[in-house]
Structure 1
Amino acid sequence: MQTDIQTWQQALPHGITLSCRACGEPGRPLLLFLHGFPEGAWVWDALLRHFSRPENGGYRCVAPNLRGYERSSAPEDVKAYRAKHLVQDILALIDNECGPKTEDQPLAALIAHDWGGAVAWSVANQHPDRLRQLVIINSPHPGTFLRALQQDPAQQAASAYMNFLVQPEAATQLAAKDFERMFGFLTGQDTSLQSLTAPTADHPAHWLTPAVKAQYREVWQQGLQGGLNYYRASPLRPATANDPGASAVQIPPEALRIEVPTLLLWAQDDVALLPCLTEGLDAHIPDLKLVPIEQATHWVVHEQPARVIQEIANFLPPICIKPAQ
């Protein structure tokens, strides 16, 4: 059983290449992990190792760097980061790992955080046959996010940082002085985008060790424009005098429906994505398990990895593998 991290460049049929990380034997039930901004596939390494072990299910665990990140393809056109293209990447990766006949063995679970969660919501809505379960960690469902951006002043203020990230000079400013502002966001020392993370005295970023900083730096050195293009390609941001943002958006009810069993983990001290975003989800997700996580911020996967692993393990059903013919 492979429990070391494997890395490779996965070419997809539509011309995109994703740099991937994985643990576990190909052909085993697949867990697919999608990261957010400003991270990379490496943030899932502890979970890849855990769930690939035989005593923890022996899953095949794969984490791609999303397009625009690390050594994955990074198209320059902002329109290349619209949801339909991001979904296409993930479906092609599922095909590569599971095969196109998903009725034989679909994806066991799609597990995602932040922007990875935004992609995962779309995959689950549009292609529910491709996965058995969905796990979302602090990534708002588009229905509740749209409602909050249109009607909730607190969430509008919490999301105001998005209007900086879409500016043309954002990447240059974020990369300056060896990514000083990027690390400031993670530690809460840079208050100009405080709502992005804002650790406090109650949540010091002890997890941001020199080794973790080096892993972040390695991803960021490949470029920041790709990750920022996710914000630029989406209208789901607070309205400004020059940009209607979410105020001009309508989403039909059928685009909000999630039919697969869903686990939603929500760190309660995430000051960028407020707990109000978990309200009213029963209208869109009939089979929903919501687990609030206290004393945790947006970076809960770093802060409380054991808790995250345990909640996912409790949610996953016992593995049932078809015997070889």
Structure 2
Amino acid sequence: MTELSISTDAGVFDAIVAGPPEGRPVLLLHGFPQTGLAWQRQIAALAAHGYRVVAPDQRGYSPGVRPLRPEDFRIGRLVDDVAAITEELGWPTFDLVGHDWGGAVAWWTAHSHPGRVRTLTVVSTPHPAALSTALRTDQDQRERSHYMIDWRETPATEERMLAHDARQLREVYAGKVPQDSAEAYVRHLSRPGALTAALNWYRAGRPDGSIGAVDVPTLYVWSTGDRAFGRAAAHETGQWVNGPYRFEILRDVSHWVPEEAPGTLNRLLLEHLRTHGEFGTAASTPLADSPER
């Protein structure tokens, strides 16, 4: 694995890259409160099988792309980042993998740019429309999602999370993330402006547009120990995939699947990529409009 700087009109994204330059391209999107380092076990496994893998630190996590306004973190901007990063990498089509907030961005990207996304793999995060349904109809999901409302407070949330040697921020990982990785995330997010930028993903407001079903081959991995996303939204997600769909449930695994169950996730991911190796090869497919600008 090596470090890579990716220059776009929005700024410079830091990223981890591995695998042969001619390998089939895979983009990995992390969530909160992590960085591209969250995928280190998946990066190693994919690169070992000949894939070209890039895991960027997303908007706000990369110091070179850290706007101040919460509205600059709306989902359309995040989808635009994916399009810009992959264009700069010279990837007309690519496989897309996301976890947590990265999973939300992955769903929206697959919906907005189906001609460019070869396959979609989302870990933990249900389809946004499925989550919206669950928030309206399922009390359990409403209770699970209440933290999102709390974290929109500013600057109170940053002060609480970073107080006492970032004790509350460390508690988010629930002891399921390797200690060295958790310490790296805390150091990264303790730098001036970093945690505010990460929390601005929650403060950005609702998307201007709506998301429909995705058409690309999709693997969705949900774990029964996930504190953020419950059973109702997870099972509803299949109603929002028109393409080939595989739903895998990991028993007694927490939200932090890529780091807590890397072997299982790597196996599922590699199987998914091999199964759908010929999908989405139209290099000249124009970019669809993002859900917002």
With normalisation by structure 1, the TM-score equals: 0.80
TM-superposed CA distance for 1:173, in Å, is 1.4
Q: Percent identity?
A: 26
Separation in structure 1 between the aligned mates of residue 80 and residue 266 of structure 2, nearest angstrom:
28
SS of the equivalent of 2:222 reads strand
SS of the equivalent of 2:131 reads helix
Corresponding letter in the other structure for 2:17: A
How does 1:209-228 map onto structure 2 within 5 Å?
A: 209=179, 211-222=180-191, 223-228=194-199
Among 6, 10, 13, which residue is 1:10 paired with? 6
Separation in structure 1 between the aligned mates of residue 64 and residue 222 of structure 2, nearest angstrom:
28
Q: Is the 8 A contact 2:70 2:200 kept in 1?
A: yes
Separation in structure 1 between the aligned mates of residue 196 and residue 176 of structure 2, nearest angstrom:
28
Tell me how many residue pairs correspond in the alignment: 274
Separation in structure 2 between the aligned mates of residue 292 and residue 267 of structure 1, nearest angstrom:
5
Corresponding letter in the other structure for 2:157: A
Q: Deviations over 1:130-153 (max 9, x none)?
A: 111000000121111111112211
In structure 1, what is the equivalent of residue 106 of structure 2? 120
Separation in structure 1 between the aligned mates of residue 64 and residue 165 of structure 2, nearest angstrom:
22
In structure 1, what is the equivalent of residue 291 of structure 2? none
SS of the equivalent of 1:128 reads coil
Larger of the two Rg values belongs to structure:
1
Q: Is the 8 A contact 1:26 1:97 kept in 2?
A: no
TM-superposed CA distance for 1:27, in Å, is 3.1
* Residues 1:181 and 2:150 are matched in the alignment: no
Among 246, 257, 266, which residue is 1:300 paired with? 257
TM-superposed CA distance for 1:72, in Å, is 4.1
Among 202, 205, 213, which residue is 1:257 paired with? 213
How does 1:276-287 map onto structure 2 within 5 Å?
A: 276-286=232-242, 287=244
Q: Which moved more, 1:135-144 or 1:17-26?
A: 17-26
The 1:280/1:180 distance shift into structure 2, 3 A limit, reads closer
Corresponding letter in the other structure for 1:234: G
Instruction: Point out where structure 1 has 5 or more consecutive residues left out of the alignment.
Output: 188-204, 237-248
Among 118, 141, 156, which residue is 2:127 paired with? 141
Q: Which moved more, 1:120-129 or 1:214-223?
A: 214-223
Q: Is the 8 A contact 2:138 2:232 kept in 1?
A: no
Separation in structure 1 between the aligned mates of residue 264 and residue 64 of structure 2, nearest angstrom:
30
In structure 2, what is the equivalent of residue 208 of structure 1? 178
TM-superposed CA distance for 1:314, in Å, is 1.2
SS of the equivalent of 1:306 reads helix
Separation in structure 1 between the aligned mates of residue 64 and residue 258 of structure 2, nearest angstrom:
22
Q: Is the 8 A contact 1:70 1:219 kept in 2?
A: no
Separation in structure 2 between the aligned mates of residue 145 and residue 281 of structure 1, nearest angstrom:
8
* Residues 1:71 and 2:27 are matched in the alignment: no
Separation in structure 2 between the aligned mates of residue 30 and residue 235 of structure 1, nearest angstrom:
31
TM-superposed CA distance for 1:186, in Å, is 1.8
In structure 1, what is the equivalent of residue 290 of structure 2? none
How does 1:16-165 map onto structure 2 within 5 Å?
A: 16-53=11-48, 56=49, 58-99=50-91, 102=92, 106-107=93-94, 109-165=95-151
Separation in structure 2 between the aligned mates of residue 52 and residue 208 of structure 1, nearest angstrom:
21
TM-superposed CA distance for 1:272, in Å, is 1.5
In structure 1, what is the equivalent of residue 227 of structure 2? 271
Q: Is the 8 A contact 1:128 1:259 kept in 2?
A: yes
Separation in structure 1 between the aligned mates of residue 264 and residue 184 of structure 2, nearest angstrom:
22
Separation in structure 2 between the aligned mates of residue 282 and residue 228 of structure 1, nearest angstrom:
29
SS of the equivalent of 1:294 reads strand
The 1:235/1:149 distance shift into structure 2, 3 A limit, reads farther
SS of the equivalent of 1:84 reads helix
Bigger RCO of structures 1 and 2 (CA < 8 A, at least 6 apart):
2
TM-superposed CA distance for 1:70, in Å, is 4.4
The 1:72/1:267 distance shift into structure 2, 3 A limit, reads farther
TM-superposed CA distance for 1:265, in Å, is 0.5
RMSD of the alignment, in Å? 1.9
